[in-house]
Amino acid sequence: MKLYSNEENKRLISLLTAKGREPHSVIITGERGSGRRTLAKYLAASLMCESHSGKPCGVCKSCRMLEDGNHPDFITAKANENGNYKLDDIRALVTDSVIKPNEGELKVYLIPDFDRSVNTAAAVQNVLLKFIEEPPPHCVVILTAVTKEIFLPTVISRCIFLGTERCTKQQAEQWLTEKGTFGQDDIIRAVSCCGGNFGRCLEFLEGGELPAAFECAKAVCAGMLRRDEYQILKALFMCDGKKAQLRQALVFLSEILRGACLISLGTVPEDCCFESGASQLSSMLGSERSEELYRLVTEYIGRLDSNCNQALTVNSLTGEIFVRL
Ligand SMILES: [Zn+2]
């Protein structure tokens, strides 16, 4: 089982899985696409591997079943289409946990994308609390989320935290090439936009809103460099009626402005989606105005999230960007 980067996590997992020190409740945090599930699976494989060597051997029955996605003791909870977990499903999971493992010594429950369960997060944690406090000795529960903010203090105090570690662009390129599904030019385009975030690179290559959002952000950037208000407005209206796409375009734009700010301060941004644009904006705006625009765009992402009218938001944002150029 290959886990790119995450050297610190591998070291920690190896220490934790040394016999007798297995963690029973783990929270894995990291941005979407950063490999939280892969890290969870690596941890589960390390815990359940018959070699007990602190890492998955890759050849024992347990490792092979995990790799093939059919290990009966690795159980992933399923949320509904809106990302919310149903209380009954979580209660069933807790009930199931008292039953001994089918294969080895441990059962691992994965509850992914917990922060998406906004409507039921608190109630689900209350159901899980007892389980997290005193899990049956053969049980491990792993939750994943973007940040730990959604978790109750009583849960936080009983869990071990692991954060996904950033991968490089080269690693993302290698991973995508190994898949054998995509052309090299497309891979380079995806990686230059999404950096070392494997999930985002894959999403970019599979179509959807990312490529269009990226084009929109680049067009806004070009309009800013020309100080052309109409071009900025036209670019933002490329996402007319597609809120998720507009939001993603603003996320890209905020990354470019953050990059511009860092370049002005003499730092090389680690993972900027459009380095040449950031560099030109940096020469034009300097660090203070780049930062001001970065904050502005971030604020507008918040407005979109609070359901402001999209056309009005676009008009108002264009005006506010223009006066700062
Ligand atoms: Zn193994």
125 and 21 co-located in one domain: yes
Of 163, 191, 219, which closes a domain?
163
- Cα of 107 vs centre of ligand 1, distance in Å, is 15
- Cα of 113 vs centre of ligand 1, distance in Å, is 26
Q: What is the CATH number of the domain that holds 125?
A: 3.40.50.300
Q: Are strands 25-29 and 107-111 parallel, antiparallel or unpaired?
A: unpaired
* 74-76 sheet: strands from edge to edge: 74-76, 107-111, 139-145, 25-29, 160-163
146 and 257 co-located in one domain: no
Domain boundaries, position 269: 208-323
**Per residue in 303-313, is it b (16+ CB within 10 Å) or e — as a string?**
bbeeeeebeeb
- Cα of 140 vs centre of ligand 1, distance in Å, is 17
Extended beta strands in the chain, E state = 25-29, 74-76, 107-111, 139-145, 160-163
From residue 147, alpha-carbon distances to 28, 103, 107, 281 in Å are 9, 33, 25, 31
- Cα of 51 vs centre of ligand 1, distance in Å, is 6
Of 145, 163, 181, which closes a domain?
163
- Cα of 231 vs centre of ligand 1, distance in Å, is 57
Q: What is the CATH number of the domain that holds 239?
A: 1.20.272
Q: Which two tokens stand for residue 125?
A: 């944690």
- Cα of 46 vs centre of ligand 1, distance in Å, is 7
- Cα of 76 vs centre of ligand 1, distance in Å, is 20
Name the domain count of the chain.
2
Q: 166: Cβ–Cβ under 8 A, 6 or more apart, which residues?
A: 5, 34, 196, 270, 271
34 and 87 co-located in one domain: yes
- Cα of 22 vs centre of ligand 1, distance in Å, is 16
Q: Which two tokens stand for residue 118?
A: 């906004």
- Cα of 57 vs centre of ligand 1, distance in Å, is 4
121 and 253 co-located in one domain: no
- Cα of 63 vs centre of ligand 1, distance in Å, is 4
Ranges of the chain with pLDDT below 50: none
pLDDT of residue 37: 96
- Cα of 52 vs centre of ligand 1, distance in Å, is 8
101 and 225 co-located in one domain: no
pLDDT of residue 307: 83
> Which H or E run contains 314?
helix 310-323
- Say how far apart CA 173 and CA 188 lie, in whole Å: 7
31 and 152 co-located in one domain: yes
Provide the whole-model pTM. 0.83
Q: 323: Cβ–Cβ under 8 A, 6 or more apart, which residues?
A: none
Residue 63 lies in a domain: yes
CB 29 within 8 Å of CB 40: no
Residue 115 lies in a domain: yes
157 and 219 co-located in one domain: no
Residues with a beta carbon under 5 angstroms from ion ligand 1: 49, 57, 60, 63
Residue 179 lies in a domain: no
- Cα of 17 vs centre of ligand 1, distance in Å, is 13
Specify the DSSP class assigned to residue 217. Answer: H
Q: Which amino acid, one-letter code, is at 232?
A: I
- Cα of 60 vs centre of ligand 1, distance in Å, is 4
pLDDT of residue 287: 95
- Cα of 64 vs centre of ligand 1, distance in Å, is 7
- Cα of 152 vs centre of ligand 1, distance in Å, is 34
- Cα of 99 vs centre of ligand 1, distance in Å, is 23
User: For helices 310-323 and 243-264, what crossing angle results, to 10°?
Assistant: 20
13 and 146 co-located in one domain: yes
139 and 23 co-located in one domain: yes
Q: What is the CB-side half-sphere exposure of residue 267 using CA atoms within 13 A? A: 11
Q: Which amino acid, one-letter code, is at 107?
A: K
- Say how far apart CA 39 and CA 162 lie, in whole Å: 9
Torsion of Cα atoms, 101 then 140 then 166 then 82, to 10°: 90
Residue 168 lies in a domain: no
141 and 221 co-located in one domain: no
33 and 136 co-located in one domain: yes
147 and 218 co-located in one domain: no
pLDDT of residue 19: 65
Q: Which two tokens stand for residue 252?
A: 């890209």
Of 139, 163, 187, which closes a domain?
163
